[in-house]
Structure 1
Amino acid sequence: MTRGATGGHPESSHPPSADLVQVVLGECSPADADTVFNVLRDHFPSDRGVDAPRQTGEPWPEVWTGGFLADHSPASVPGVLLAGSVTAGLQGGPVAVSRLHAALASAFVVTAEGTASGDQEVEVQLRLTGADRGAPPGDD
């Protein structure tokens, strides 16, 4: 089931853009999904609210989504620790996906698990694990 910021499907406040990247997180705890979204929200405008992902108690795997406007390349992101691994799917224009991928690779250890390219869009599947440097989220 796809969960947006309020538990339903997210509605983007951004117009369709080559810089808009849809991010789908799964196979992880709600806390790790929140950590990844917080890193992305710190560097890119998003349609996600501040509500943290939470478990619904439903029997199928949880999936969380968000749209991020990757219209610039952010500065290096400090390493962030995760409790487990996170599967992340990125879909959007090639340049925007590359920017978001670079931000994630700066904050986490990233393993590419697959890529599919279309006419004007690319989809990348990643596995994120905690950085070998940095601090747990919230330790500033």
Structure 2
Amino acid sequence: MPETRESRTPHDPSPDLVQVVLGECSPADADTVFNVLRAHFPSDRGTDAPRQTGESCPAVWTGGFRAAHSPDSVRGVLLAGSVTADLQGGPVAVDRLRRTLASAFVVSTTGTVSGDQEIEVQLRLTGPEHGAPPGDG
């Protein structure tokens, strides 16, 4: 049986796959960001929340997300602090995730690197401040 886009898992390379790396944040904030993404895109993360045990503190949390569609806007979500998010994948798929994050959080783009078929974007995410609507800054 030939493989179709629908039969692939989040681990398969495709133009819809975006690798997300979160850093410089608490486990709770990483979980909040991943929950927003998991609510709209299939993921290899399942329902596992980032965990911190004892004195270990991971530098980053990672997950793969299939961005084959553009979801509706997401309601603003509060974060305790800021989160650095690196998105890497096909330009259309990365833009879909970026727009979803921008509808949930206040987003500023801190860096972009383009390749032949992939793009990497670094974002800084914060929660809405004083009722300001989220958006790309």
TM-score for both structures, normalised by structure 1: 0.82
Q: Which has the larger radius of gyration?
A: 2
Partner of 1:66: helix, strand, or coil? Answer: strand
| 1:128 and 2:121 matched | no
Match for residue 32 of structure 2? Answer: 35
SS at match of 1:39: helix
What RMSD, in angstroms, separates the aligned Cα atoms of the two structures?
A: 1.7
Q: 1:83-122 alignment to 2 at 5 Å?
A: 83-122=80-119
**1:64-101 residue CA offsets vs partner (Å, 9 max, x unmatched):** 00000000001000000000000000000000000000
Between the aligned residues of both structures, percent identity stands at: 76
Q: Is the 8 A contact 1:32 1:84 kept in 2?
A: yes
The one-letter code sitting in structure 1 at the alignment partner of 2:9 is S
Q: What count of residue pairs does the alignment treat as equivalent?
A: 122
Q: List runs of 5+ in structure 2 lacking aligned partners.
A: 1-7, 133-137
Partner of 2:13, secondary structure, is coil
**Residues 1:47 and 2:44 aligned together:** yes
Give the equivalent residue in structure 1 for 2:4.
none
Alignment of 1:69-84 (within 5 A): 69-84=66-81
Tell me what 1:13 maps to. 9
Instruction: State how far apart, in whole Å, the 2-side matches of 1:104 and 1:78 are.
Output: 10
What TM-score, normalized to structure 2? 0.84
Matched-pair contact (CA < 8 Å) for 1:91–1:123: yes
DSSP-derived class of the 1:83 partner:
coil
SS in 1 for 2:97: helix
Which consecutive unaligned segments of at least 5 residues does structure 1 have?
1-11, 135-140
